[in-house]
Amino acid sequence: MTDLAQRFPENPLLLPKDLRPSRDGLQIISLLNPGVFRYDGKIWLIVRVAEGVAQKEGVLFFPALNATGNTEIIEVPLNDPDLIATDARVISYKGLDYLTTVSHLRLLYSDDGIRFYESTDYPPIFGKGYLERFGVEDCRVSQIGDTYYLTYTAVSDSGVGVGLQTTKNWQQFETGGMMLPPHNKDCAIFEEKIGEKFYCLHRPSSKEIGGNYIWLAESSDGRQWGNHQCLVKTRPGLWDSARVGAGAAPIRTERGWLSIYHGANVEHRYCLGAFLMDLNDPSKILARTTTPIMVPTEAYELSGFFGYVVFTNGHIVDGDRLTIYYGAADEFVCGAHFSIREILNLLT
């Protein structure tokens, strides 16, 4: 299947070996799904860094953050009858679920959008408190005025919810706490108010009735959110039949708010699509792509920590050119250019 993506010939832009682990005893397993923003004349990525522990025969080690934000290593014998370790990403021990990796966020900058570097002036962002004990993941960045809103997945043994922080200088942060409680993720705030209200897309999930759908919420202050409405559902038999979730902040176009989203099928293949919302009332869906705008086709998208995945929550807009930075195979950070006009023409 062909798509609209013009992939960077330099892909992958970042590999796990390009960064140093946060502490001794850990190794970087994956770099995933960066948020993207402009600041101080540069393009910045806020990359999810997933770290694990080198394993030894007969023993399983996995990391978790303690209440002080420091990483502790949990050790369990493989023959422990209370251990269930059949998934590369999640294990169960004594009835509780744990991640095999713990994630934090790193800031990297670039002058050309291709070569990215870390700066010691902007330290990593780690989970804090019991609601972020298993780490922070997949940060999306929205700029409204001179304030940057960071929405990210906050993971703990209490569930998976949406955390919120704001900053003006990327060195001092104000926490908004748990913006949306479990089970919820994939939250992207619109980059301008509509009728004096903030809006966001988010993805509550249900293991019973319902599914993994994209919802809309509104707020008068950017902190307390309500009036939730279901917008985009999965479609049986199509590429997004199992789950859908928002990408980065929707893009204002003459035709409406354009949102790039990810969808997965029952085989866990993740692709990118798009839908269009009314400019004055984003609860109205005007159009949606039937076919993906991007599918995993390159070797670095098909093979990695979790293959057949392209997943984005960050982009840069320059006129008609949309530059999407994305996670490939849950291991690498890559980039691709798109034409906004071509995406709009694909909408039906």
Report pLDDT digits (tens) over 194-211: 999 999 999 999 767 788
Beta-sheet pairing, 184-189 with 147-156: unpaired
Q: Is the pLDDT of residue 190 over 60?
A: yes
Q: How confident is the model at residue 1 (pLDDT cuts 50, 70, 90)?
A: low
The pLDDT of residue 68: 66
Helix/strand/coil (H, E, C) string of the chain?
A: CCCCCEECCCCCCECHHHCCCCCCCCEEEEEEEEEEEEECCEEEEEEEEEEECCCECCEEEEEEECCCCCEEEEEEECCCCCEECCCCCEEEECCEEEECCEEEEEEEEECCCCCCEECCCCCCECCCCHHHCCEEEEEEEEEECCEEEEEEEEEECCEEEEEEEEECCCCCEEEEEEEECCCEEEEEECCCCECCEEEEEEEECCCCCCCCCEEEEEECCCCCCEEEEEEECCCCCCCCCCEEEECCCCEECCCCEEEEEEEECCCCCEEEEEEEECCCCCCCEEEEECCCCECCCCHHHHCCCCCCEEEEEEEEEECCEEEEEEEECCCEEEEEEEEHHHHHHHEC
The pLDDT of residue 76: 84
Q: Which amino acid is at 35?
A: G
Percentage of the residues of the chain whose pLDDT score is greater than 90: 77
CB 297 within 8 A of CB 3: yes
Q: Which tokens belong to 70?
A: 């420091």
Mean pLDDT for the stretch of residues 165-183: 95
| Alpha-carbon distance values, 259 to 48, 92, 269, 292, 328 (Å) | 22, 35, 20, 13, 20
Report pLDDT digits (tens) over 324-337: 999 999 999 999 99
Mean pLDDT check: name the lowest of 8-17, 69-78, 130-139. 69-78
The pLDDT of residue 67: 65
Q: How confident is the model at residue 97 (pLDDT cuts 50, 70, 90)?
A: confident
Mean pLDDT for the stretch of residues 4-24: 96
Report pLDDT digits (tens) over 225-281: 999 999 999 999 999 999 999 999 999 999 999 999 999 999 999 999 999 999 999
The pLDDT of residue 70: 72
Q: How confident is the model at residue 13 (pLDDT cuts 50, 70, 90)?
A: very high
The pLDDT of residue 313: 96
The pLDDT of residue 56: 75
